[in-house]
Amino acid sequence: MPTPTDAAGIDTEAAASSSPPDTPVIEFVDVEKSFGSNVVLKDLNFQVAQGERVTLIGPSGSGKTTILRLVMTLEELTGGYIYIDGEPLTHENRDGKRVPVSKKEQKKLRTRIGMVFQQFNLFPNMTVLENIIEAPIHVLGQTKKDAIAKAHSLLDQVGLPDKADAHPSSLSGGQQQRVAIARALAMDPEILLLDEVTSALDPEVVDDVLNILRQVADTTNVTMLIVTHEMGFARDVSHKVMMFDGGHVVEEGPPDKIFTNPEQERTRKFLSAVLGH
Amino acid sequence: MEFFEDWPQYFEVAINWSDRLLAGLWTTVQLTLFGGLLAFVIAVTLGLLAGSPNRWLRIPARILIEFFRGVSLVVLLFWLMFVLPQIWMRNPDLPFRDLVYNTFLLGVIALGLNYGAYGAEAVRASLTTVSSGQWEATTALSMSWSHKMRRIIFPQAWALMLPSLANLWVHLLKGSAIAYIMPFVSDFTAELNQLRRPTDIWFSHAFIGLVVYFILALILTVIMQTLEARAKHKLGRGPSLREILSPAPKAVMAEGSAVTVTDPPQDPAGPDSASAKTEGGVRR
């Protein structure tokens, strides 16, 4: 369904791709996602700039996680367009027609995106080290030596230097999640998607994991799209906070503003519920 | 009481017959090994296709599975042995004539198709039990389909499908006895039938046959349980083979604070014999 905004979106896109620094790293144009008859996202438009860290907040079922899963191509986009570095991720707009992009193109874009899951999803049939080096060697074509060296430095970074040969099943949840972060970072992603990464953890290890992510945010220029219920973390690391409800952006702005002086009643209610006052 | 009095003679006859019995046993072993190998290849191929999201791969695979699962092994053998060669008899110039007249090969194919179709269901089902999180992690790491299958998904499904495959292999061994209807193939059961003439059905079938098939099945079971224990150990569940086989298992050698596994969705459907047995042994 071509609309004026569609066309406008593409034009600016084409113009912007000639000057990379201005190209948004992630751009949603009229994104629509439905599961059967259940519409989860509708007419969603937003951009994330290079190096920007955006946190999505909102009640469960508001479509935040779906946004991350759409970027990771874990869900099929049912309408609109997603652009990564100005290139269409799933479909392109060819004279108003929505045409799927080739699998090859999609795969190329996807290697720039990394994701950390709520349930860690480490591979139980591999050691910690093997988990980290598997994709860099076989997907990115790194040499085994380089991949291993990188994996060790990442394990140092996440505070697990002596766990390289351990099996995931012998690690605690917090340790598994730190390995999962190292595994995602080993791919050198341009975009890192964090999907409620501390929700499945014991309360006392949540801070360990968040501190590692704070450090990643401080020391790298990786663009982050974050879904979390840890408002303190969201406030610390993000440049922008987007409040979702019912598949719509209710309000967005810098964290200081959203958390201290939200404009919308809905945001205020949500925040007082999660912050518990 | 004649029956028991005659037994020493029966054993004598059996020993005289031993060359033929051994030859039959060897044929049965070959049918079981080659049939099992073919069944495994068919099971994995059809199982992967039947689990594919692409309907042009899935539907033909499903049709083949349902067909060969539903066809009686005896009827299938009759078709391969007696109907198929007729085509070549009418048209002697057709290629592959030797293959169609090779009844042993046809027997292997019949066993492979029949049990492979059952195995395909086991393969497909165990692939679906690998948690969706594992599939998603492979997508997030941009792994290709063959890469994720080979390195991530199949090795996890492998531990789950082995008990079913072990069952099917034992079934195949016993099903191979149907080969005695095949011309030019003298398997163990066919030789037992020969032995029955100078002795009696109780001695040849109910005694020698029972014991020998039981021992063969036991060997297959032990092989498969070894594979299963190994596969489980690789997934971080259960001890290694060395720990299982060592006479006095040592206490858990996990580093210091052995933390409990926090991965509920990946736990198998239920603890089965092998892991229950071995865990009990290791955890004192």
Spatial distance between the Cα atoms of A228 and A237, rounded to a whole number of angstroms: 12
Q: Residue type at B59?
A: I
Exposed/middle/buried for residue B269 (C-beta within 10 Å: 0-12, 13-18, 19+) = exposed
The pair of three-digit structure tokens given for residue A267, joined into one six-digit string: 């945001």
Residue B265 has pLDDT above 60, yes or no: no
**Crossing angle between the packed helical segments B103-129 and B154-175, to the nearest 10 degrees:** 140
Q: Among residues of chain A, what percentage have pLDDT more than 70?
A: 92
- Smallest CA–CA distance, residue A202 to chain B, in Å, is 11
* Banded model confidence at residue B258, pLDDT cuts 50, 70, 90: very low
CB A33 within 8 A of CB A70: yes
Indicate the class that CATH gives domain A4-112+189-275.
alpha beta
In a domain, B3, yes or no: no
Name which of A65, A105, A62 is nearest A83 in CA terms.
Answer: A105
The angle, 0 to 180 degrees and rounded to 10, between the axes of the packed helices B273-282 and B210-234 is 60
- Residue A60 pLDDT: 85
Are residues A31 and A70 in contact, defined by beta-carbon separation less than 8 angstroms?
yes
Per domain, the residue ranges of chain A are: 4-112+189-275, 122-188
The Cα of A13 is separated from the nearest Cα of chain B by a number of Å equal to: 25
**Residue B250: pLDDT band by 50, 70, 90 thresholds?**
low
Can you give the pLDDT at residue B13? 84
Beta bridge partners of A114: A192
A123-135 burial, b at 16+ Cβ within 10 Å, e below that, comes to bbbbbbbbbbbbb
Q: How many domains does chain B contain in total?
A: 1
Task: For residue B169, tell me if it sits in a domain.
Answer: yes
The candidate with the shortest Cα–Cα distance to A157, out of A237, A217, A222, A215, is A215
Minimal Cα–Cα distance from A75 to chain B, Å?
10
Report the distance separating Cα A156 and Cα A237, nearest Å.
Answer: 22
pLDDT (mean) for B43-68: 94
φ, ψ (nearest 5 deg) of residue A57: -120, 170
* B66-108 confidence digits (pLDDT tens): 999 999 999 999 898 888 888 888 888 888 888 888 889 999 9
The answer to whether B265 faces chain A, any CB pair under 8 Å, is yes
Residue A260 Cα, gap to closest chain B Cα (Å): 35
Q: Does residue B9 carry a pLDDT above 80?
A: yes
Q: Do A124 and B141 touch (CB under 8 A)?
A: no
For residue A170, the chain B residues in CB contact (below 8 A) are 236, 254-255, 258-259
Q: Domain for residue B267, yes or no?
A: no
pLDDT of residue B249: 52
- Residues from chain A that touch B275, judged by Cβ atoms under 8 A, are none
Bridge partner list, B246: none
Nearest CA in chain A to B141: A135
Q: Span A45-64, mean pLDDT?
A: 92
Return the minimum-mean-pLDDT range out of A111-115, A225-229, B178-182, B198-202.
B198-202
Helix (H) or strand (E) holding A31: strand A26-35
- Report yes or no on B225 lying in a domain: yes
Tell me which chain A residues have a C-beta less than 8 angstroms from the C-beta of B140.
72, 74, 113-115, 117, 184
Q: Tens digits of per-residue pLDDT, B187-209?
A: 888 888 888 888 887 788 888 89
Give residues with Cβ within 8 angstroms of A147, minimum separation 6: A132, A133, A136, A137, A186
With tokens 């000639």, the residue in question is A18
Q: Strand, helix or coil at B12?
A: helix
Residue A100 parent element (H or E):
strand A97-100
Residue B53 lies in a domain: yes
Those residues of chain A whose CB sits closer than 8 Å to some CB in chain B are 72-74, 107, 110-111, 113-115, 117, 119-125, 134-135, 138-139, 166-173, 175-176, 183-184, 187, 200
Which of A121, A124, A171 is nearest residue B136 as measured by Cβ atoms? A121
Radius of gyration of chain A from its Cα atoms, rounded to whole angstroms? 19
Flag if A122 and B259 touch (Cβ within 8 Å): no
pLDDT of A17 over the 60 cut: no
Instruction: Give B134's contacts in chain A (Cβ within 8 Å).
Output: 121, 123
Q: Which of B196, B212, B187, B19 is nearest to B103 (CA)?
A: B187
Please give the span between the terminal C-alpha atoms of chain A, in angstroms, as a whole number. 45
* Residue of B131, B133, B156 lying closest to A125 (CB–CB): B156
Nearest CA among A138, A246, A16, A258 for reference residue B152: A138
Q: Is residue B240 part of a domain?
A: yes
Q: Which residues pair with A28 in a beta bridge?
A: A46, A82
DSSP state of A83: E
Q: Which of A174-183, A257-266, B30-39 has the lowest mean pLDDT?
A: A257-266
> What's the order of all strands across the beta sheet hosting A191-195?
A113-116, A191-195, A223-227, A53-57, A240-245, A248-253
**Which pLDDT tens digit goes with each residue over B119-177?**
999 999 999 999 999 999 999 999 999 999 999 999 999 999 999 999 999 999 999 99
B51 is in which domain, residue-wise?
9-245
The model's pTM: 0.80
| Best to test chain B binding among A119, A162, A183 (most B CBs inside 10 Å) | A119
Q: What is the ipTM of this complex?
A: 0.87
- Tracing tokens 């027609």 back to the chain, one arrives at A97
Q: Residue B248's pLDDT is what?
A: 62
State the average pLDDT over residues A80-92.
94
Q: Give the CATH number for residue B214.
A: 1.10.3720.10
Q: Dig out the tokens for B142 from the structure.
A: 């941009």
Show the tokens assigned to A172.
């605690």
- Which of B136, B236, B237 faces A117 most closely, judged by CB atoms? B136
